[in-house]
Amino acid sequence: MPRSAWPQIFSLGLALLLTVPRDGHAQAAPLVIEVRVGATAPVTPFASGSRVGEGASPGVSFGVDLAFSGSGRRTFYAGFSQHRFPCGDAGCPAGGRYVATGFQSGFRFNLSTRGSVIPWLRAGVITTRVESPGVPGSVDGVSALGVGGEVGAGVYIGVFRVIAFNPGLRVAAVNSELPGRSLLRLRYAVADFAFALAF
């Protein structure tokens, strides 16, 4: 995402915040929008080796989730995310990287239903396509669609009525065929922080 786009995104988020009614608690809202940003780290075999589809390094992660709460402990979530992994360990030149973009959906299970601090677990399905610009041996283009899974945990922290913070940690696994038919075994962990806005 271009750096110049961030001021517009921040302005839009602030405008939404100022127009949302301030009654009720964010954790009890039927719809919550979460904007997530954090760090992602590859794990073996994605993190080691020097072949195409290997040798990735820690990078940045960002995404947006929509969470739909019910009356019990279960919350359905669906969203978009992108993870960027430099690949210097695979001999990539400056700017060479794996860019994994996709969607995720699943369920989050609240371990408590009372209070402003609620720990949770989540499990879901992810779909991913990967670009590999600058990766030696990889043909320019986008990978085949890969389908995999993710599990995670975190804590939902109510701050003020419609506002909450939602830090979390998750791990994911998905296989995808890169252009040129090299198999990418995408295994990674994500630690991120979400700003949550309830409607």
Please write the tens of the pLDDT for every residue from 131-182: 877 666 666 778 889 999 999 999 999 988 889 999 999 999 999 887 777 7
- Please compute the mean of the pLDDT values over residues 97-114 and round it to a whole number: 92
CA distance 16 to 147: 33
Residue 68, pLDDT score: 92
User: Which residue(s) pair with 124 in the sheet?
Assistant: 106, 150
Q: What mean pLDDT do residues 102-121 have? A: 92
Selection from 1, 144, 107 nearest residue 63 by Cα: 1
How many Å apart are CA 146 and CA 101, to the nearest integer? Answer: 10
Predicted confidence band at 50 (pLDDT cuts at 50, 70, 90)? low
Task: For residues 84-98, give the mean pLDDT.
Answer: 75
24-79+89-159+172-198 CATH:
2.40.160.20
How far is the C-alpha of 126 from the C-alpha of 47, rounded, in Å?
20
Output the pLDDT for position 55: 79
Cβ neighbours of 137 (radius 10 Å): 14
What's the pLDDT at 167?
97
pLDDT at 12 over 90: no
SS (H, E, C) the chain: CCHHHHHHHHHHHHHHHHHCCCCCCHHHCCEEEEEEEEEEEECCCCCCCCCCCCCCCCEEEEEEEEEEECCCCEEEEEEEEEEEEECHHHCCCCCCEEEEEEEEEEEEEECCCCCCEEEEEEEEEEEEEEECCCCCCCCCCECCCEEEEEEEEEEEEEEECCEEECCEEEEEEEEEECCCCCEEEEEEEEEEEEEEEEC
pLDDT of residue 79: 97
